[in-house]
Amino acid sequence: MANPTDLQDSPAGPVVSDPELLALHAVRLKGMADDETAAAHYGLDPEVVGEALLDHEARGWVTRRAFAGTRGWALTDSGRAEGERRLAGELAAAGLGPFVRERYESFLADNARCLRACTDWQLRPDGSGRLAVNDHGDPEWDRRVLDELTALEGVIESLSDGLGARLLRFDRYGARFAGALARVRRGELSWVDRVREDSCHTVWMELHEDLLATLGIARGEEPEPRGE
């Protein structure tokens, strides 16, 4: 088995996933995606991705769905299994299983922090012992949450850089999270947790799902974070 450290320094560079796999994987990460959304996730040609998704549909791996006024592709159970099979093959061929597992366990240690920060952005104590919708009228409360998100920006950038140096498809998570946080700092407050956009919460959740898919772990089977 190759040494992951040697792979990082290899002139060949990081593993570049096949576009057909990336098309399938983007649908999983997005939950539902049209051709353009799936292609944009990895900077691929929409025409190439569209053809790949049609092939995946013929194999029964994706199906067209409509939800809340939007339409797109969604994975079938067999598509989910096929995606995980291909990801596992890619990981085994590169000898990166232990390295990615270690980074996943590191991620778990900070996962609750991000979930708590996003919840605190939405809700705060109302002075009577109950929680109320955060109207962002308490600058100190919001500053504390932003400080935590700033710390998590460093965490996700480090993970993204380390993983992306070996598996290229991981390399944009840090930049995407930083971009969302920059918008929050400019006053676009919904970019902490808005849905169907590259908000801090969305990017963090997609990295979580990416790690689970790559390692073939079901959410109900996740280990306890180290140190807890």
Per-residue pLDDT tens over the stretch 182-191: 999 999 999 9
Q: What is the pLDDT of residues 143-189, one digit of tens each?
A: 999 999 999 999 999 999 999 999 999 999 999 999 999 999 999 99
Segments in the chain below pLDDT 50: 1-11, 228
Taking the whole predicted model, whether its pTM rises above 0.85 is answered as yes
Domain residues of the chain, as ranges?
A: 19-91, 97-221
- Name, in order, each residue with C-beta under 8 angstroms of 180's C-beta and a sequence gap of 6 or more: 191, 192, 198, 199, 200, 202, 203
At residue 128, the pLDDT reads 83
What are the CA-CA distances from residue 126 to residues 15, 141, 220 (Å)?
Answer: 50, 12, 34
Determine the CATH number of domain 19-91. Answer: 1.10.10.10
Integer Cα distance of 104 and 99 in angstroms: 9
